[in-house]
Chain A
Amino acid sequence: MKDRRERVDISKVDDELTRRDLLRRAALGGIVLVYGGTGAKTAVAGVPKFRHRQHAGTLRIIQWSHFVPAYDRWFDDVYVKRWGDANDTEVRVDHVNLAELPSRAASEVAAQSGHDLFQFLSPPAAYEDRVIALNDVVQQVERKVGKISRVGRRSTYNPRTRKYFGFADNYVPDPVHYRADLWSEVGLRPTTWENIRRAAPRLKAMGNPIGIGMSNELDSNMALIALLQCFGAYIQSPDARITIRSKGTRDALNFMRDLYRRGMTSEVFAWTASSNNDAFLAGRLSLALNAISIARSAEQRNLRFNRDIRILPIPDGPGPRMGLEHVMGVYVIWKFAQNKRAAKKFLVDIGTQYTGHFLNSYFYNFPAFPGSVKRIPARLRRNTSYPNEVPGRYPILDQISKKWTTNVGHPGYSNAAIDEVFNKFIIPQMFARVARGDMSADEAMRAAHREMTPIFRKWRARRKI
């Protein structure tokens, strides 16, 4: 045995040891390995350790699987590695599906252990007591690149407790996508809600209905709350009182019922977050509200109507013109985080210099600190390496992000009560009931108000709003 080992080279020995180690572990747990192979070892023993130079500290980050896979690759393999080397920190990034973020967050808090940086995709106001205040981080970044955007501040700051409970690094604009070829046949552009209503019957008759979801999913929530805003209706006032019962809401509800009957089909009640993408990319829809994932997918698949997809800001309505962010990247640092110092440093750095993220996400992520990416308009005019990119499509995003993007809960802040109203889909529920004719606008408004009252009461009693 000994003789034999002397003859084999080092790597073989290493190999054999690991295999033995594996067998020992397997025996320990009484496990029969059917598949065998080397993967099993990492599976049982946990994460494999990289064999390169050890850094002094470690930083663990968790965030969603980005819509642009290339962004994740760049972030994990380039950005984070470079940052880790510069800061003598071993950085590990885990990804989860965006729908799994809330349960992941709750379980990390319950476990009092997990990642140092946790990125939510909506403002996690309810977690305020579980995270450290990041006022100092925001101030540091503001000193370097100028003020945080209004949408960033309103989504991460609690005026009642004067705390930044999260750090917004990015938000994603939520423009209107429409098919110029179809709309030109009608002779209109979807710049106002009235235009959409007028064009809708003919578009539907052409087999290309309007696609604004009224379902229990993110895109519906965003589009409908934005529609409310355009009719001067809001969920809450600046001081977080429910204001859903208003003339504006009634008008918006009646408008939507009309629009549904004239220009939409019942598919909008069945949608998941991906359905409007699917339907638009299949060539069915003439209009949808979504992040630029629709346009980008059309480019990637090189669809025949790729060039006819146009992007516009939220349409103008009777009220002030105002759209919403589509998703909002908000990092928090748990109170129990192991490496708060590195986590804060990471945030300061990402907040200060966001250009790489902006470009590698192909204009999907917009900086929450506008000063952290220089010359945004010029960059939007330049082409990226994205396949079949349509020149001139994206410069409008600059105006959209600056002028027509606000937070959920506008004119107030994105507080815990708003988050609960959002996650219980009370707004889509209200719209759908009216559009289907199950309720009058007034009844639906009252029902929504009834559902919201205990939610706001609860969070007010907890002194969070």
Chain B
Amino acid sequence: MATVARATPEDRRWQDVLEERRFLGPLLIAPAVLFIVALVGLPLGLAIYLSLTDATAGSLTGDFVGFQNYLDAWDSENFRVALRNTIVFTLVSQAIVLVGAGLLAHALVRNFRGRWFFRFLILLPWAAPVALSTVGFLWIFHSLYSVVNWTLIHDILPGGGEFYPYRAVNWAFARDFWPAAIQISPIEPIDPPQWLGEPTLAKAAIIAVHAWRILPFATVIFIAGLASMPPEIEDAAKVDGATGLRKFWYVTLPLQLPIATVALLFGIVFTATDMTVVYVLTHGGPFNSTHVLTTWAFDTGINSAALGQGAAISLYLLPALALVAILMLRFARRVEVT
């Protein structure tokens, strides 16, 4: 009894602290912030320092060289290609994802037979480890065993129906009628399209894989957004006679904007900071035309041991990404508030 009595003032003081918002807030935030500072902030600081030195071969120290690494990186043609690719891959794949996720989410919130199964199929890409599923695409786009090419150049109608898909593709696209960007040179069965060996196709393949792996995630976010939409608004729209496209444009879209922004932001981050897809699919090839900043930084900093320069290349991306993220988060919030 006595011990308890003596301890009580102590306890009370602690409880007061815990009741006080001024203290409780920081107390709750502190562990996470400390953790992040220790495991991201400090290493990032070290990486920035490395980018200003001539460090090589795994060493975490070097002589200070100012911004030389950044200038050297910029001078390399391969770097500029990588920078452009990073931007293009990110924007194009996310445009595809946004449209796809929007359509899919609208369909998936409805009740229909087999919805559970369809949703399972759609979630699959998100469930596979990306390093391994990209190897799967390496197989699908294989220079020889590609199933895409097999399907293109073989008679796919059972019983000798004489339907060769590549002929249809040639008929449709190998025409002077098209502008150069769309027109293709005719596909020949002996030399089918090399999905990872032709710069344009390889870029398309990389974009496709990115879109493929991010689409499920974006769809889920979109579904959550749609599901949280108050039914009153839906009813109000009905009363006002808004249907179809008009309803989508004036009612659904504005309400979906914040959540779409969030999905887009994650998509951008996933694509722009990813190394695996490009590294596994093309390793920057054909002839260094599909490098992105992460792979070029890796080939420079790790595989070629020019560590300082590799760090500089990686860091080019960060301010731009941060700016995009801040703008998008503020936008999402503003829309939410109004």
Which residues of A line the B interface, CB within 8 A?
Answer: 102-103, 105-110, 124, 126-127, 129-130, 207, 214-217, 265-272, 275, 278-279, 282, 284, 416, 419-420, 423-425, 428-429, 432-433, 436, 447, 450-451, 454, 458, 462
Contacts and interface: CB of A to CB of B under 8 A. Distances in A.
6 contacts: A126-B304, A130-B58, A215-B286, A420-B300, A424-B300, A451-B76
B213 interface: no
Interface size on B, as a range, is 35 or more
A425 B142 contact: no
Interface stretch (B96-104, B111-119, B188-196, B244-252): B188-196
Contacts of B144: 267, 275, 278-279, 282, 284
B282 interface: yes
B52 interface: no
Given A215-B197, A425-B284, A447 B305 contact: no
B142 A216 contact: no
Contacts of A279: 143-144
Contacts of A454: 72, 75-76
Contacts of B190: 207, 265
B151 interface: no
A129 B302 contact: no
B155 interface: no
Interface string B104-133: 000000000000000000000000000000
Contacts of A109: 57-59
B287 A428 contact: yes
A124 B285 CA distance: 23
Contacts of B198: 266, 269-270
B292 interface: no
B234 interface: no
Interface in B62-99: 72, 75-78
B278 to A, nearest CB: 10
A424 B300 CA distance: 7
A203 B284 CA distance: 30
B243 to A, nearest CB: 48
B54 interface: yes
Contacts of B273: none
B256 interface: no
A59 B165 CA distance: 59
Contacts of B306: 126, 420, 458
A66 B298 CA distance: 24
A265 B194 CA distance: 9
Given A127-B305, A451-B78, A216 B288 contact: yes
B304 A423 contact: yes
B210 interface: no
Which of A105, A216, A429: most chain B CB closer than 10 A?
A216
A101 B304 CA distance: 12
A278 B145 contact: yes
Interface string B135-153: 0001001111100000000
B143 A270 contact: yes
Nearest to B280: A272
